[in-house]
A = this chain, B = another copy of it.
Amino acid sequence: MSSSATATPLPLLPATPVPSEDEDEGPHTSITADRAATRQARLQRVGQRPGTLNIREGALAPRLFLISYDDTFFEEQEYQSYEELLACFRQHSELKHWIDVRGYNDLELMQRLQEDFRIHPLQMEDVLNDYQRAKVEETQDGLFLVSRMTEFTRLLDIDDDQLSIFTGSNYVLTFQDDYEDCLETVRLRLRTGRSNIRRRSPLYLAYALTDVVLDHYYPTMAAIGDYLETLEERIFQGRPDRRVLNRILHIKKDIVRFRRLVYPEREKIAELLRMPEEQMPEEIKVFFKDCYDHAIQALDLAESYRETVSSLVELYMSDQANRANEVMKVLTIISSIFIPLSFVVGLYGMNFQREGPDGRINYLNMPELYSPWGYPILLMILGLIVIFQLTYFYRKGWLTNK
């Protein structure tokens, strides 16, 4: 057996999805579409025998990894065949093992794993169905933990994948449907000899995995926070259009969804903390308590973002009303100035005749028109009207920018 740790670590953070200013609004900003896939998967299952194993369409072909370790020993290897892995696992029962199954698309393999690790059919179904809430259940050998890993995508959606963890006396068995994951940091810590994980029980590895998943909620939240700031700036800069509202509501949906993902996580950890000593030793509980604090803080942050979103909607709505006001002010100022003027010039466009049909002079019929100063005086009057109105509007504050 030789130690191999050749996998290059994944970049810690995927580039955060700062949306470009001029991006298209494709269907991805739809408010409702995000769970279509889940819905589809769910529908296929309707009326099925409970415990029936179903491979989700589009699932990846499984890759099998085994990390065997104790205080002093470490080996990491990808196996092409399950038999080899199992042989190695069974042979070294004195070591602790992390069996890491990435990809579900092999029904037979899944059934063998179910049998060999004495997994309850319903739990195996949960693993494969892939849309479980975070939860913890007891198994014959230890615990079954479901965590949800989140990622904020370039399309402003929250992608979530499931990490299923089974613990046993000397192993941790994890399932996920992704070749690249956020657990690489745990592997890195395993590879270095000084890590706590190497010394402690598999339960501590399960904790470390759960903790990493929880830690990865922060990049998601940070991306949402950054995006909210972008949106806020746009509203402040001036002309928030309909797409901005659309995105605000989309982000709101993300936040609500995030909250729904994290809330069960908190519940799960609270349940772990309530477990008796023999299932969950006090020394591990201390660490899960820390997780619990993190989950609460993530929920706090989500709550805070919700408030921000509703403030943004209020700002947007108020802006909409403001712009309507502005349009109306322009209309009112121009109309109010020119309509009276138009009346006055219309007045002197009338054709009242100075000379009656009988030739008599009607001195009362628009004598102004015959005055030598008529026109200049009229222009002055018009000017005064304009000045008066402008003063009035200025006093009302309608002429200044706001």
A residues apposed to B, CB below 8 Å: 12-13, 30-33, 35-36, 39, 42-43, 45-51, 120, 122, 125-126, 131-133, 135, 137, 182, 184-186, 189, 195-196, 208, 211-212, 215-216, 218-219, 221-222, 225, 228-229, 232, 239, 241-242, 245-246, 249, 252-253, 256-257, 260, 286-287, 289-290, 293, 296-297, 300-301, 303-304, 307-308, 311-325, 327-332, 334-336, 338-343, 345-354, 356-357, 360-362, 364-366, 368-376, 378, 397-398, 402
Instruction: Select one of B228, B229, B321, B357 contacting A321, CB under 8 A.
Output: B321
Q: In the complex, which residue of chain B has the Cβ closest to the Cβ of A255?
A: B307
List B contacts of A293 (CB < 8 A): 126, 132-133, 135
Q: Are A335 and B327 within 8 A (Cβ)? A: no
Min Cβ gap A284→B in Å is 11
Min Cβ gap A250→B in Å is 8
Q: Are A303 and B242 within 8 A (Cβ)? A: no
Min Cβ gap A281→B in Å is 15
Q: In the complex, A334→B342 CA distance in Å?
A: 12
Q: In the complex, which residue of chain B has the Cβ closest to the Cβ of A39?
A: B222
Q: Are A338 and B343 within 8 A (Cβ)? A: yes
Q: Are A32 and B232 within 8 A (Cβ)? A: yes
Q: Are B39 and A133 within 8 A (Cβ)? A: no
Q: Are B331 and A330 within 8 A (Cβ)? A: no
Q: In the complex, A303→B260 CA distance in Å?
A: 10
List B contacts of A365 (CB < 8 A): 372, 374-375
List B contacts of A256 (CB < 8 A): 304, 307
